[in-house]
Amino acid sequence: MNGRMIAAEVLKLVRRRGQMIWAVILTVVAVVVAYGIAWGYHLSNAGKYGPAGGSHSLEGSLWIITTIGGVAAVLIGTTAGIGDQSAGVFRELVVTGRSRIALFAARIPGALIVLLPMVLLAFAVAVVCTFALAGDLRTPSASLIAKDAVWLIAVMTAQLLLALGFSAVVGSRATAVGVLLGWQLALSPLLLSIDQLGPVRQLVPRAAALRLEPFSNEPLGFAMTAGAAVAVLTVWTVVMLAVAARRTLRLEA
């Protein structure tokens, strides 16, 4: 893997203008709209609706970025994972003598380079609005903002890489998008709400992400250590990418 291969992966993704527009809408624009609505309510009735900023609003913004912006991670990740096969160029890339593993590995930094700037811009907008629109509300400390940023990058990276790996495994972008969105938006919250599953719920990546939230001590309703949460996210990501790389090696060119 070299810089040219990574740059080629970035170019493949950014050339999809429709997808890039939607990714910006689902990350940056979503945060702007949320603050705009809250600010509008405050201006219309300050007695009933408090300021749009403050620490609580930043927590809400992180939820927006990881949930709604998580859809952007799925779109970009699945495109990176199956893009060459869908475009019918995988065979041409292989016959040039390039390593299949290098071709697959280049997709990872390429997709991250595309997604993370949008995520960080959305977070920056949220932080600015948190202070600018706080009024008399409490604002987060610099250390908490830094922890939030690290957590956000980790969670969005995991979502992206899981989408990339899963799409490469199933071999269909449409199927991967449907399954991942269903898992992310519906099935994962449902599983975490079923008390009868007990400690098995710790294996759900969403549980790990919630456990590591800097602004909440224990939002799960069941015990889970921070170390276990890190391990769950790491194992899911590494195993999915390993399976995807193995399938890429065996893929018919």
Q: Is 50 exposed, middle or buried (0-12, 13-18, 19+ CB in 10 A)?
A: middle
- Tokens in use for 235? 């194992």
- How high is the pLDDT of residue 140? 93
Q: Which of 118, 122, 115 is nearest to 61 (CA)?
A: 122
- How high is the pLDDT of residue 198? 83
- Tokens in use for 193? 């709400």
Contact between 54 and 135 under an 8 Å Cβ cutoff? The reply is yes
Residue 101: domain span: 3-250
- How high is the pLDDT of residue 97? 62
Angle at 236 between CA 64 and CA 114, to 5 degrees: 50
Give per-10-residue mean pLDDT for the chain (253 aa).
84 93 97 96 91 92 95 95 67 65 89 97 97 93 95 96 94 92 92 86 91 73 86 96 88 61
Q: How far apart are CA 75 and CA 73, in angstroms?
A: 6
Q: What are the CA-CA distances from residue 173 to residues 27, 161, 163, 219 (Å)?
A: 21, 14, 10, 33
- How high is the pLDDT of residue 13? 93
Q: Count each helix (H run) and each strand (E run) in the chain, helices first.
A: 11, 0
Q: What is the DSSP letter of 203?
A: G
- How high is the pLDDT of residue 43? 93
DSSP 152-202: HHHHHHHHHHHHHHHHHHHS-HHHHHHHHHHIIIIIHHHHHH-GGGGGGGG
- How high is the pLDDT of residue 118? 97
The torsion defined by the Cα of 247, 102, 231 and 58, in degrees rounded to 10, comes to -110
Count up the domains in the chain and report the number: 1
Contact between 179 and 166 under an 8 Å Cβ cutoff? The reply is yes
Q: How far apart are CA 146 and CA 117, in angstroms?
A: 16
Q: What pTM did the predictor assign?
A: 0.92
Pinpoint the alpha helices (H) of the chain: 3-14, 17-24, 30-44, 55-87, 90-95, 100-132, 142-170, 173-182, 188-193, 205-211, 226-250
